[in-house]
Each structure stands twice: as structure tokens, then as C-alpha cells.
Structure 1
Amino acid sequence: MASWRSVSVSISALVVFVVSLAYLLISASSSTSALGGQQDLGPLKHPHRHFQAPAENPWAELDDAEASQLYLWLHENTNLFDSASDTNALNLVELLRPNKSDVADYLDHGGPPPERWARLSNLESKGDEAFVKEYMVGPLPPSNHTQILPLTYCHNSGRNSVRSPISDVFALLDWALGIGENASDITLDLLGAKTNRHDLDDPDGLVIGSRPALIDSGRMVHWLEFFRPGMKSDGRSLLPQGLYVKLDIPTARPETWTTGGWFYNGILYDNDTMLREAMKSPDFERLVVNEDGGWTDTEDPASVAPERDMPPPLSIQPYGPRYHLDRAENYVSWMGFSFYVATSQATAVSLFDIRYNDTRIIYQLGLQEALAHYAGVEPMQSGLEFLDTFFGMGKMMFSLVPGLDCPGHAEYVDMSYHRGGKMYTNKNAICVFEYTSDAPLQRHTSAFSATVSRNTYLVVRSVSTVGNYDYTIDYIFYLDGSIEVKLRASGYIFGAFHAEPRHSAVPPRDSSTNEYGYRIHPGVQTSMHDHVVNFRADFDICGTANTLVRTTVEPLKREYDWDEPEVDGPRNTMHMVHEPITRETGLNWPKNAREMYLVTSPSATNKWGESRAYRILPGTGMGNPAHLTIVNSTTLGNSAAWSSADLWVLRNHPDTEPSSAHENNYLEPLAPLVDFTKMVDSEDIEGEDLVVYFNLGGHHVPTSQDVPNTLMHTSASSVVFMPFNYFDEDVSRAWRQGVRVDRRPPAREGVGSAVEKDEVKIKTKRTADAQGEENNRHRDEDAQSEKDKRHEDEDDGVTWFGGRYTRDVLVSPQMLTPDLSHYMRERDEGEAGGWKTVRNAVGGGLVGLFVGKERAGEEGGRGRGGMDW
């Protein structure tokens, strides 16, 4: 899908997307957003009261007390940053995640808890240049031993800084606004609207989107395009107007910036004067204006389908959760699985120390980067790309909507972070729930019986809204020990302007028609792009001495003695070929799914003598997850080399190579802080600690069905980690719940012994509602025993295994249709404080601001309802 990082500023205050540094200067976020507290679960309101993690969460984000102590220490030690800088602006503060070696000693061997250190991001400028620099501060809490050091050990560039294209975001905003005002005669003639600095609510105003590109170190070029704001909808990315202007930004200082050419209807004009002269010609062709309207609305209130008035089926959890959650430590346990949850401002949710039956399978599983790369025939789309962690996929985890984003019985966890000296909290940013699939886990019908088991699984879900797209990320756990990582996307595509004459009855077709997309409305067509979203899986299969084995299913010709004389010569068949991968490399999903990638522990076998392993395979969704189509992208430089293959296996250096990317790679793609190519250096990987980087996403060629929004089921992709001889048998047998139905005819009286009759019936002891109150539990067990006895007497041949519902249940209206009024309340509270919407995140490394009554960006703002950020 796309990513409309374009911001909207009612042409009222031209909103330009300003260089991503606004991201570094403005703590604009919809932090204390949306949904209020947890849902009222009635008698099960505190189902996890006595559940406790085995250890403190070593990946837990800095709490308010830690951050306050750190800010005070920094205030008292103001000389710690680069004293040669003209300006210093502290932006990001978050936990510097501890080394794997320290954590393993703590969790596995009872060692001391890892020291707590903080990671800082600071904007420093001097003369023509500006830099974003990173530091590490610790140990915490501050003491005489606390120090601040350049953070370099986890950046293979050896640096702690990237060059910032600009030093003054507001200067760029004002400058771009001036461009729109000075060209108001052009925009009124060609687009029928102009920028309006004085009326932020002007529904006819224009906004400006920007595509920046770093040409070389320190030199940036922007292409700006005018858009309609679509004030009554969020469909701004569907409303390009086909008028572009070029900006040249050779240094960080505003006085060096210049305006270049103007582009319209396939013609590049040297400046606005040349365009004005051309417009006077009777041969000048004016293009259709791309108007907003009901076609960008996500709802159709006029539908009269009678079934639409009936509420849909829902999943319920009337006896309370079967998983356990320690909220203090963000620790979850379910059906043999356990893990810690951690968050980051850039990379959203990661899971750590994933275990099954207390044996670690994966040390870390989490997002690294999300790339969207476009192509097109005009200046905006031709080089448009986004690395979304730069905009903060963690701090853009906005509040989930109960009953819609997650089932009504889900539980929610907040996400807190620190920016600009303040702590922000996104309420209910993560949900946890158990769900029942629409298909059984297992079933079999034989001549005399039928057995069917329910398929339930646990989900940890978050949604990151980055501009025009909402990325839903699920970590899913299955009863058999499998783990799935699933990505879904929805939202508005980033439309491209389709040049067609204003009075043309039939849209013209030329050589570019259908080369980059499809026409979906007068003046707009879709824009093809690739989504490549990178994740890290640090495997520990029976320890850290692992090998990746490629098992290939190959055709075979082989002679067998027993085939003669019927088969004359070799038999055409197939076999498996097992090949260890010995060096670091990138891999693609094989044709015909003929290869299996197995992370094995050669020194550990199951009781049958087979190497214990987990298989990596494409999961559910629209085909195999994709890698980037573009080879050696002009725009990306060296910032996202991991996107060139489906998955990578590397020797793990978790303490010095903790990630495949860095959010600030977006600012300096030609010389990134973390260069993935340097991590793939042909090291031997047999019997080593391995890390697998894998990509989700796909090649998105939007069609008319993507209007107004792309649908999640058409944009889903996933990867599954499946036990492969890891267990001695299918462990889901211990957790299954279902029924066995004996389909044999009743025995005739006097035929068959009593023992034979007893063998027909498998008698099981049930416990009903083990998590209910004690007196209810005993009552239900007694009632169930009576039912079991009656069933045995009746000899109906039906045997249930596992818990089942045995009494009437009441489901609260809140679980079926949650009360969402707190969205409105919190929105009103936010705006009562004087805030208009401050939107950050958006457009190609730039930030668009919805300028309010106060100077936008001087302090963090609150998004309306936690959604309109």
C-alpha cells in the first residue's frame, strides 16, 4: 500500500511537508489519546491479579521517574553535548536496550539485572550544517558513575550522527507557504483554488505535498505538488492537482534555498514567469481539476441492503481470558508460550524471550523498518519512497477501537514514550486476545467415529498510522508451537495525477497509460509501489548453536530391484536433499515452494534421533511476501539493502549489530548510520548464533477497488515459524478442545462383553470454568458430573475433551458494542487546551503542520480523538 505522509493544511496556511527534521524538533503526537481505561469485565475485571512474570522486564521503557531523573541530570550537566554547536535541541529519549549477553545471564543464570542506559537524540547545528546526533547515558538512575558517550557501538558506520538537510523547519514552512501565495494567480487559473494563510478552515484551500531527495551529502532537492485538502474526508492523498514546483536546498541555512522550475502537463518551465507567459497562449492546454466528493468517503450511508441493518456474528469470551498478563512487566503466558512485550518510538512492538514450556525459541522478534517505494512518470511519484520508522511507527500506535480493531473481549496495553522533555501515553495502543478460527485445528472422520478440535490462537496486535496508511501488525501464537508474524495494510492510496484535458469527453491514452497504474477518477490514477517491511527473528533453537538447512524436494530417477520386471529402467520419483547454508546470504522464496528453510540445532535431537528445528515459510495472505523490484534504487542509496531479498540469514552479533536499519537512515541514505551490506560479510554460520531478517509486504498495483481505501484482506502477508521435528509429537494434543462422536451402531443386547462396551466410551473428567469463583467452580463441576453420568447412562456416543460451555452465559452490551464516547471527550479536552491539530509524520521525510492559533510545533499537540494526528 501506499503512504500518504502528506499533511494537510487547509490551504489555509499552506502546509508544506517540511523536512523530516520537524519530526526531530516537534513532539507532535496524539499521545494521551483516545480510549480511556480498560473495559469493565465485571467479576473478571482483574483476571491476572495473582499472575507474575518470572523476572523484571529488562526491555521495559523508561518510566516517568527514570526520565525525570535523567532530564534533571542533563539540565545540571549542560556542557555534555557538543560545545561547538550554535544550537542544541534534545529530541528523543528512550531506553537503550541491553545487550543479549547481559540479559541471558540475568534470565538464564540468575545473574544481576542488566544496567539501565538511555539513548538520546539531539539536533545540533553550526554554520551551514545541522546534524542529528545520538548519545548513550548511564547507568541509571544518575549517580557519580553516570556518563554520557557518543552512541556508536551499534552503528556499523562508526558514527553517531547523520546530516540534517535543514536547520529550521519553520523557515521552510514559511518559505513554501510564500511560494503558494506568490503563485495564487497560477493556482486559481489552473486549479481553481489558492493558499489561504488567514483561514485555516477554508474548505477550498490548497495544500502542498513534498518529495525530498538527497542528491549528495548535504544537498537536497524537493518537488512540491499541490493537493486539495478534502476537509470533509481524509482522502487528501487521492487529490493531487498536477502542478509541481522544484526547490533546491544546498545547505541547512534558509538563505541558500532557491526555487527552480515549474512542471505542468508534461512540460518543464524554467520558472513561474515562464509558466505565466505560456498560460497566455491560446494553445495552452488546461487539465481537468481533481475534485473531492463522496467518492473519497469510506462509508456509504445511502445503502439500502436490508442485511446491513443486522449486526454481524461476534467472538465472545464469557468465562474470562485463558491467557495471563502481568501488566507491570508486560509479560504474557498462554498454553505453553511465554514472552515479554516491549515498545520503541521508531519500531513499535517487539517481543522478547519467547519460550515454549520455559525453553527459549526466539530471543527477539520485531519490526526493523517499513519501506514503501513508488514509480511514476511525473516528479512526485517517480522517486517517492518512505522509510516509515523515521516518522515513528511506535509513537503513531494510536488507540485501538474495541470491538472493531480487536474483539470485544480483548485487553489493552498503553504505550508511553518521551520526547522534548515530556512523557506521552497512547492509551490502548496494543491489544491481546485469544480467538477461535473459523476452521478446526484438526478433524477426521473414519468408518465409526468423527473427531474435531477447535483451533484457537493468541494475538498481540498494534496498528501504526503513518500518514495515509494504517499498518496492522499481529504476532500470532498457535497451539502446536507455531508463531506467525502478519502484516495488513489499509487506508488511502497515494494517487498520481492523470493528465487529461479539461474538456475532453474521452480520457486520452498514451504510452504511459497503464505503465504505472490505472485510471480511477477524472484526473487521478493509481500509483504502483512496493511495500517491503523488514522484521528481525533472533532464533535460539535449543541454545544458540544453530544451523540453517535448506531441504529441497527434487525430482529423481532411481532403479529399484523390486521394480523389475514391471518397470524397465529407473523409476521417475522424487526425494529430499539436505544442504546446510554455510555463509551469510540472502534467500528468496523458491519456485513451486520446493525448498524448506530450517533453523536447526544439530546437537539436539528429538527422541526419534531427528535434529530439532523450526521451519520458516510464507504464511497466509496474498501470495509470498515480496522483495523490492527496483534494483539499486536511485533514491534509497545504501539505506535499505535488506529489501533486495525475501529473507537473510546472518551470524548474530546482537551486541554490536542489533538491527538491520536505523530510523535516521532516511536523512542520509547515501551514508547511513546502519549499512546492511556491511553486515552481510560472508561469515561462517554453521553451528552459530543465527539471526534471520525477513520481509513482509507485496507489489501493490492499486485498482479501482482500492478506492476509497485498500482492504486488509487483499493486502495481507505473513511468515510462519513452524516446529519441525522440534517436539516428539504434536503438542497441540495436550491443549485441544473438541468432540469425538462414536458413529457405530448400538450393540445388540447380549452381543459383546461389558469390557468391549466400555472400550467404546472414553470417559473424561471435566472441569468447568476453572477461572471462576470457587463456589461457582464446585457447583459447575457437580453439575457437569451429573451431565456426564446421564450421558454415560444414555450411551449417546458423544465424548467431549477439554473444557466446554455447560451453563448459560450473559454477554454484556459493552462486549458486543463498546461505548466509544471517550473518543469525543478526549478530543474536546485536547482542543480546549488551545490546540488545533498538529500533524507530524508525513510526506517523504517532510512534516506538514496544521498550523493552530499557537505557533505550530513549539510544543507537542494532541491529535483529534487520537487519530487525526
Structure 2
Amino acid sequence: MTLLGRHAILASSAFLFLFVVLFTFRPVFKLPEHPYQASRPTPDTCHRCSAPRKNIWADLSEGEADELLEYLYSGPNDLNLTRSEKATAWDNHVAFVEVLPPNKTDAIKYLEGTDAPPARWARISVNNGSTEQAGIYQYMVGPLPTTQETIIQPLLYCYNSGRHYVRNPLPNMEDITEWFAATGEELSDIMDDLIPGVRNPSNLPDAPPLMGVTRPAVFNDDGVVVSWAQVHGPGVRFDAWSLNPQGIYCKFEIAGRDKSQWKITQWYYNGEFYNSTQDFRQAWKEPGFKKLPPNHDGKWTAAQPDQQGLASRAEAGPVMVQPAGGRFAVDEREKFVSWMGFEFYLSTMQATALSLWDIKFRGDRVIYEITLQEAFAHYAGADPMQAGMIWLDTLFGMGFNMYELVPGYDCPPYATYLSTSFQQKDKTVFRNNSICIFEYTADHPLQRHTTPRQTTISRNTYLVVRSVSTVGNYDYTIDYQFYLDGTIEVKLRASGYIFGAYHPQNSKAKRDILQYTYGYQVHDQVATSMHDHGISFKADVDVAGSANSMVKLDIAPYTHQYDFDSDPRNTMRLKQSTLEKEQGFNWPPNANAMYIILNNDTTNSWGEKRGYRITPGTGMGIPPHLTVKDSTAMGNAAKWSDKDLWVLRQKDGERRGASEYNAMEPLDPLIDFSKMVDDEGIVQEDLVVYFTLGTHHISHSGDIPNTLMHTSATSVIFTPHNFHDRDPSRESAQGVRLDLNGAGKGANVTYFGARYEKGVKLDLVSLPISHGKNCQRVRSREC
């Protein structure tokens, strides 16, 4: 097998590669580029509003990034940089640059008008290849714009490892590709025999199988990286590769940068281990060698709806429309949003996607920051791939992989769409229309009540800020939803291709699957593998000020002798306790407790302390945490996943609960979350809540071809708890009151807020219609 031959085996593990070359499938397989990803957005405009202050969290503009890069390349420094287009694996080059968000301490002074905007700093990530042990190094540069006062220094303060770098076992992507290709050359006759006909029947007839690599880049004591890999078929369209395992596994060792020293130490096939390639070949030559049937792709993996369907599908379905325009306001230049008493800013980061800042409701800041921290998928199974497979998705870039949203399908056609940009390898990459903002009305009222004489109903309209991050085989739709009563919901839905396991029918290995069940058979040679999804978010909650406490309000059984009863009564009561120290906890069974962030120094008009309650939201069920105890594969990279919720004291040096580079050295990560929980007091302090969304994904036949979003949605809501004197939505909800005049006499109707009194005319662009085969812009009226 040669690299360009029909059986080249390609590596695709993000854990072994640099952040800037993680997107292996695109360059290696030459997939078509996502439309519009490199085009420039339209000029910034303001939609009916102006932000009260500058967005101090906004990412670097193209001009800022260009000026910073020129400073790095031309100014005197110790980075020894080579421009990306000229850099080799043995050079140092800039992987990406982005803004380094200001410390909260400085930001609050500016937001409250007591200080100037905090100095602007950048974070730069450098791929250091000039030394024998390559690494990825983090620096901070500022103040910006660059002057004689600008400095470059290691970015240390936000990493509790004491390091600003991780080792990189594979600085040159081509090395692993060529090495696996050489291995494939040695085994071409075996692969021809074991997986005949595993081809891509599309426009790449010679598309090879590919090798998927499982575990993170864990260095052993000798500095050697050991991992398992599995052969996959490429899939008809390259999208279903994760459903095409072929049941062939190898264990390999990467020692240093000289690929002549790398080696494959084991093969695993049909329940048997072979201690060398030679042993595998010798066994294959034996007359009694039992072969597994190959796993073939086909129509069964196609994500799009079937061409032929039910007759009723030919009729247009209901749609949501907005004839009168939006009621929210957006300052697109500052990424500032205002709606029904809510105000907040938006920003994006390469690793963690969309963040919300300075969220206010009716003039009160309730949350300073909501930011995604990390997303993992942790698998279990009976083969070397599934048993050790984990993915830590921020390493892929959950922000960089936010692509254009499709009006009428991802979001309503009437939504407002915002574009984002990221700086990688000395260039600015634009993602047009990668965020959508829209109002929506739920299929149920916000409130209703009926008496013999009167009925009142309020419409449940809410605001959604949405983005989609496509990471490998999964698409994560992330919503931030705002309700008229001041409630804020963080919601996640997942869809895409599951990571299938080879189902070894009538083989020795099948006995293990029968004895230890990990999933179900879903196709001829494909089984599912149980796995946990966990997505961590940080919420820096400021309830009527930054000095807050967290209380647990137990709903407890209670036996009491009342004065008015002759015997003790079995009943229930509330029992409130204050959490004194930093800690983690889980959602209680039977929902018999509430967790509330209170401000002990403020009360509403009735003397009750103002607060916000944290609770599971409107998703499929209670968000879970990681099932696995002391995960062998994940090490210390995601200790936040041990509990559903954590409450910590805010520190400027604890910017995140994880680093995207934790995946590179999970046993000694840049940020170890467990070190952040250090028993500090949290009564009337500035508090941060880390919470986990996700699912125990027990995949089944309904996940073929793709997981459905209504079965994979989880959410957490922050809802007012005695924060106001009464329900504030009474001032913002549209509703109706029917005063009944008795049987058969009709009713007097009173409307509250605007309503449609006449018919409306809609442009076709307002509906999710066909856009035409040659349409270049899905939002264009000409289409």
C-alpha cells in the first residue's frame, strides 16, 4: 500500500495532532469546502440599537490580528517565529491568535463606570517545532494596539499546572500519514483479502480505508505515546465513516520524531491478539484462518430523508412567521442584544464557541458570564477501540467549527444572523451567519387560568441565541434562551453519526459482547457502543451584586404535632441550609431539593432574600455526569465531570475549568479542575457555578443514520426566586382575558399587547421553501 494507492491507511486522531491541523478529514480527503466559510461578511450594521458600552470581550478584528502578527514577526522577541506559509515541522509558527478576555475584577469597574476600559490583551498559541521535543506554547501579548509598552510573556496565570505548554508527539501530520501508508504497503494483500470492495463509489473511486485512532496522546515514562487504531471504511460521502468499522485493530508506539523508530506492537482481529505484524501475516496464511465479513456502506447511512416517502410529506407543513419584524435589537458591531428587559454581549472563542457576557434583566446584572468549557464523549465497549475511546471536543475548536446556519431549518427564516471570524495561521477566517437570534412562541402558554366567569391566557414568547458546532461525527446545537419572567436557559441538542463498533457475528469476540452488554446490533456488521456525553458550562452568577451565597432548600418529609390536631401529622416542610465551602453535588433524587444563589444583603418588598434558582430545564431528562469512576482514558483532564454541579469562589486566575490542550496530556493537564476546588469559603462571595449538560447515550436502531435531537436534548435553567415582587412577565407578555357572560351569551374580550387584526402578506424568503439547485446564497431573495 502506498500513500496514493487504493489501500492507504490514514490517521485521524485529534489527540495526536496540533490544534491547527485537527480537521484531518478536510485536507486529507479533499472534502468540498463549506460554502461561504472563506467569504467576507457584510459590513457591520446596527439594527435599531446601540450598545451602552464597548464590547470588551470581543475577539480581535482582522486589522487587530494583522497588526499583532506583524509585531510578532518583525519585533525583537525570543519566539523565533517563521511565517506559517514558509514554516516546516522543525520551525516555530503561530497556530492562532485571539483575544485574552479581561479579568472580571477590571471588567466590573468599567461596566459600573468607575474605571476606563481594561487594557486589551491577546493570547497567542505557538507550535514550537524547533526542538527535538515539539510542543504547543501559550503566550499573552499586550497592551494592544502594540506600542513600546507592549510585552510578550508566557501565559501562566490561568493554568494551574504551572506550565504554559503541552508536549506535541506529532508536529508533522504527513509523518503519521506516510508511516501508516508504509504499514499499509506491507499489508496490502491482507487488506485486499479481509476487506474486499471497501471503496468509495462516488467521485473518488480509489478512496482508501482510513485508520481511526482512539486514546489521547498519553506519554509513558519513556516519553513514548502508545495508542490503538482501527480500520474504517471511508463511507459513501465520507460522512458515515464512523459507522464503517472493519474489525481490524493495531496497537502502535510513537517514540520521538524519527518515524523509523515507530512501530506496531500488536494486531487484534476476530478475538485474537497477534504480537507483531509478522505473526498476523503468518496466521492469515494458515488454512484455518477465519475471516470476518467486511462492513459495507450504502443507502442505510444516508442522512438525508428518503427520496420516496409518505404521501402527506408532499404537503407543506406549518411554519413560524414574523410579519411585523423582530422586537429585539442588535448592535452588530458590538455584538450587543436587547430584548424585553434583557441586555447582554456576545463573543466567540476558537475552542469554546459562543459566550454571553454582562447579562442584565430590568437593569440588574444576574449573570456576568456564561461560557462553554469542554465537551467529552466517553465510550465503553469490548474491543480495543471502544474500550479506550474518548473525545475532548474543544481540542477540535468548537468555535472554529461553527458554520453557516440554514434559514428555515436551523433557525426561522426571519432570524437575525451574525457572522464570526477567527485568526489561524496568519489569516482571518470568516464564518458568515454562524449565529442566529430570533423570537419564538412556544406551543403552550406562559400562563393561563379559568374561573366560572373569566379566562386569562398569556403567550409564551422567548428569545433564542443559537449556534451549531460540528465536531467530527457530531453536530452540537447550543441555545441560550431568555424568557419574559427573567429565566435564562442553556440548552444543548446533539445529532450526527454515532461511533459504531464492529459486530463480530459468530466469532470468538462475540462472546464478550454477550457477556458484557454495551449496546445493540443495528446493521449487518455494526453494533452500538454506550457512551456518555458531558458538556461543561461556566456561569458566573451575580444576583443583585457579586456577593452571593448558595443554599440548598430541601423538600423533606416531616412529622409534627400541631396545636389543632390530636395526633401527630405526617407532612413535609422546607429545610434550608447554606453551603459553606467550595464543593460539587448532584441533582437530588425525586427532585427533593433546590439549589439557589441568594444575595443575603438584599430583599424584595416582602423581606425575602433575592435569588436565582438553578434547576434542570426543558430537556429530555436530568442532565447526567460521567458514569465512569476514575476514568483510565481521561485521567485528570475533566474532573468537573464527576458531579452535576460545582460551586466555586470566583478568581481571576481561574478563567476556565479546562483547557483545550488537556487532551494532549490528560494525566498532567494544563488545567486540573480538581485543584480549583480547594475548600475556600463561599458565603457572600463572588460565586461561579460549573454545570454539566449531556446524556447517557444508549444508541439503538433509531440512531441510524443520525441521532435525533428530541432524544438528545438537555438543559439547565436559571430562574428568579423571590428576585422580584411579582411575576415581571405581567408587564411584557401578550395575552387575552375573556369575561364570560353566561351560557350562550358569548364573552367580552380584552387584549393585552399588540395582535394581528388584519391579514398579512409574506415574501417567499420568509418561508423555508426550495432555494433552487443553483442558489449560491440560501438567504438571498433572488433564490
Which residue of the other structure, out of 511, 515, 518, is the alignment partner of 1:516? Answer: 518
- Structure 2 partner of 1:132: 136
Residue 10 of structure 1: how far off its partner (Å): 9.8
- Structure 2 partner of 1:811: 762
Partner SS state of residue 554, structure 1: strand
Counterparts of residues 46-57 of structure 1 (less than 5 Å): 49-57=47-55
Is the alpha carbon distance of 1:592 and 1:194 closer, same or farther for their aligned partners in structure 2, counting shifts above 3 Å? closer
Partner SS state of residue 576, structure 1: strand
Deviations 1:709-745 (A, max 9, x none): 0000000000010100000000000011121111123
Measure, in 1, the Cα distance between the counterparts of 2:108 and 2:264.
Answer: 55
Measure, in 2, the Cα distance between the counterparts of 1:35 and 1:417.
Answer: 11
* Alignment size in residue pairs: 759
Is the alpha carbon distance of 1:642 and 1:82 closer, same or farther for their aligned partners in structure 2, counting shifts above 3 Å? farther
Alignment of 1:720 with 2:717, yes or no, is yes
Percent identity between matched residues is 45
Is the alpha carbon distance of 1:676 and 1:573 closer, same or farther for their aligned partners in structure 2, counting shifts above 3 Å? same
- Structure 1 partner of 2:29: none
Partner SS state of residue 179, structure 2: helix
380-389 vs 269-278, which deviates more? Answer: 269-278
Contact (CA 8 Å) 1:12, 1:200: kept in 2 or not?
no
Letter of the structure 1 residue corresponding to residue 563 of structure 2:
D
Letter of the structure 2 residue corresponding to residue 715 of structure 1:
S
Measure, in 1, the Cα distance between the counterparts of 2:293 and 2:181.
Answer: 24
Partner SS state of residue 278, structure 1: helix
Measure, in 1, the Cα distance between the counterparts of 2:270 and 2:775.
Answer: 44
Is the alpha carbon distance of 1:515 and 1:21 closer, same or farther for their aligned partners in structure 2, counting shifts above 3 Å? closer
Measure, in 1, the Cα distance between the counterparts of 2:546 and 2:429.
Answer: 37
Residue 17 of structure 1: how far off its partner (Å): 1.4
Contact (CA 8 Å) 1:612, 1:724: kept in 2 or not?
yes
Measure, in 1, the Cα distance between the counterparts of 2:65 and 2:45.
Answer: 31
Partner SS state of residue 288, structure 1: coil
Residue 826 of structure 1: how far off its partner (Å): 8.2
- Structure 1 partner of 2:644: 646
Contact (CA 8 Å) 1:528, 1:700: kept in 2 or not?
yes
Counterparts of residues 690-705 of structure 1 (less than 5 Å): 690-705=687-702
Measure, in 1, the Cα distance between the counterparts of 2:642 and 2:15.
Answer: 25
TM-score by length of 1: 0.83
Measure, in 1, the Cα distance between the counterparts of 2:56 and 2:717.
Answer: 27
Higher relative contact order (CA 8 A, sep 6+): 1
20-29 vs 291-300, which deviates more? Answer: 20-29
Is the alpha carbon distance of 1:49 and 1:473 closer, same or farther for their aligned partners in structure 2, counting shifts above 3 Å? closer
Residue 265 of structure 1: how far off its partner (Å): 0.5
- Structure 2 partner of 1:299: 304
Residue 415 of structure 1: how far off its partner (Å): 1.2
Is the alpha carbon distance of 1:122 and 1:32 closer, same or farther for their aligned partners in structure 2, counting shifts above 3 Å? farther
Letter of the structure 1 residue corresponding to residue 460 of structure 2:
N
Letter of the structure 1 residue corresponding to residue 285 of structure 2:
K
Measure, in 1, the Cα distance between the counterparts of 2:145 and 2:659.
Answer: 26
- Structure 1 partner of 2:210: 207
- Structure 2 partner of 1:331: 336
Partner SS state of residue 109, structure 1: coil
Partner SS state of residue 177, structure 2: helix
Measure, in 2, the Cα distance between the counterparts of 1:587 and 1:11.
Answer: 53
Counterparts of residues 427-438 of structure 1 (less than 5 Å): 427-438=432-443
Q: Larger C-alpha radius of gyration, 1 or 2?
A: 1
Counterparts of residues 451-462 of structure 1 (less than 5 Å): 451-462=456-467
101-110 vs 308-317, which deviates more? Answer: 101-110
- Structure 2 partner of 1:474: 479
Measure, in 1, the Cα distance between the counterparts of 2:640 and 2:510.
Answer: 40
Residue 359 of structure 1: how far off its partner (Å): 1.2
Letter of the structure 1 residue corresponding to residue 141 of structure 2:
V
Which residue of the other structure, out of 686, 708, 714, is the alignment partner of 1:689? Answer: 686
Is the alpha carbon distance of 1:808 and 1:12 closer, same or farther for their aligned partners in structure 2, counting shifts above 3 Å? farther
Alignment of 1:114 with 2:109, yes or no, is no
Is the alpha carbon distance of 1:189 and 1:512 closer, same or farther for their aligned partners in structure 2, counting shifts above 3 Å? same
Is the alpha carbon distance of 1:826 and 1:15 closer, same or farther for their aligned partners in structure 2, counting shifts above 3 Å? farther
Letter of the structure 1 residue corresponding to residue 670 of structure 2:
L
Deviations 1:608-645 (A, max 9, x none): 00000000000112210010011111111111000000
Measure, in 1, the Cα distance between the counterparts of 2:92 and 2:557.
Answer: 65
Contact (CA 8 Å) 2:552, 2:577: kept in 1 or not?
yes
Residue 522 of structure 1: how far off its partner (Å): 1.2
270-279 vs 306-315, which deviates more? Answer: 270-279
Partner SS state of residue 174, structure 2: helix
459-468 vs 269-278, which deviates more? Answer: 269-278
Deviations 1:420-461 (A, max 9, x none): 000000111110000000000011110011111110000000
Which residue of the other structure, out of 793, 801, 806, is the alignment partner of 2:752? Answer: 801
Counterparts of residues 126-525 of structure 1 (less than 5 Å): 126-193=130-197, 201-202=204-205, 205-213=208-216, 214-216=218-220, 218-232=223-237, 234-501=239-506, 512=514, 515-525=517-527
- Structure 1 partner of 2:541: 539
Residue 398 of structure 1: how far off its partner (Å): 0.8
Partner SS state of residue 623, structure 2: coil
Contact (CA 8 Å) 1:492, 1:707: kept in 2 or not?
yes
RMSD: 2.7
Contact (CA 8 Å) 1:369, 1:533: kept in 2 or not?
yes
Measure, in 1, the Cα distance between the counterparts of 2:240 and 2:539.
Answer: 36
Alignment of 1:629 with 2:631, yes or no, is no
Deviations 1:238-264 (A, max 9, x none): 110000111101334434311211110
Letter of the structure 2 residue corresponding to residue 158 of structure 1:
G
Which residue of the other structure, out of 17, 36, 39, is the alignment partner of 2:12? Answer: 17
Measure, in 2, the Cα distance between the counterparts of 1:525 and 1:136.
Answer: 47
Alignment of 1:597 with 2:595, yes or no, is yes
Is the alpha carbon distance of 1:194 and 1:717 closer, same or farther for their aligned partners in structure 2, counting shifts above 3 Å? closer
Measure, in 1, the Cα distance between the counterparts of 2:5 and 2:535.
Answer: 32
Measure, in 1, the Cα distance between the counterparts of 2:706 and 2:370.
Answer: 29
Is the alpha carbon distance of 1:319 and 1:83 closer, same or farther for their aligned partners in structure 2, counting shifts above 3 Å? closer
Deviations 1:154-206 (A, max 9, x none): 1111111111122322111111122122211111111115799xx99126631
Measure, in 2, the Cα distance between the counterparts of 1:81 and 1:712.
Answer: 46
Partner SS state of residue 139, structure 2: strand
Letter of the structure 1 residue corresponding to residue 732 of structure 2:
W
Contact (CA 8 Å) 1:585, 1:682: kept in 2 or not?
yes
280-289 vs 321-330, which deviates more? Answer: 280-289
Is the alpha carbon distance of 1:385 and 1:430 closer, same or farther for their aligned partners in structure 2, counting shifts above 3 Å? same
Partner SS state of residue 518, structure 2: coil
TM-score by length of 2: 0.92
Is the alpha carbon distance of 1:510 and 1:662 closer, same or farther for their aligned partners in structure 2, counting shifts above 3 Å? closer
Deviations 1:491-533 (A, max 9, x none): 000000111249x9xx966553661111111111001100010
Contact (CA 8 Å) 1:460, 1:475: kept in 2 or not?
yes
Measure, in 2, the Cα distance between the counterparts of 1:37 and 1:807.
Answer: 40
Residue 818 of structure 1: how far off its partner (Å): 5.2
Measure, in 2, the Cα distance between the counterparts of 1:612 and 1:628.
Answer: 33
589-598 vs 233-242, which deviates more? Answer: 233-242
Measure, in 2, the Cα distance between the counterparts of 1:709 and 1:9.
Answer: 31
Which residue of the other structure, out of 558, 561, 564, is the alignment partner of 1:559? Answer: 561
Contact (CA 8 Å) 1:38, 1:411: kept in 2 or not?
no
Letter of the structure 2 residue corresponding to residue 611 of structure 1:
K
Measure, in 2, the Cα distance between the counterparts of 1:31 and 1:21.
Answer: 25
Contact (CA 8 Å) 1:88, 1:125: kept in 2 or not?
yes
Counterparts of residues 583-594 of structure 1 (less than 5 Å): 583-594=581-592
Gaps of 5+ in 2: 27-32, 83-88, 779-783
Letter of the structure 1 residue corresponding to residue 754 of structure 2:
G
Is the alpha carbon distance of 1:241 and 1:302 closer, same or farther for their aligned partners in structure 2, counting shifts above 3 Å? same
- Structure 2 partner of 1:3: none
Measure, in 2, the Cα distance between the counterparts of 1:27 and 1:259.
Answer: 23
Measure, in 2, the Cα distance between the counterparts of 1:11 and 1:658.
Answer: 47
Letter of the structure 2 residue corresponding to residue 274 of structure 1:
D
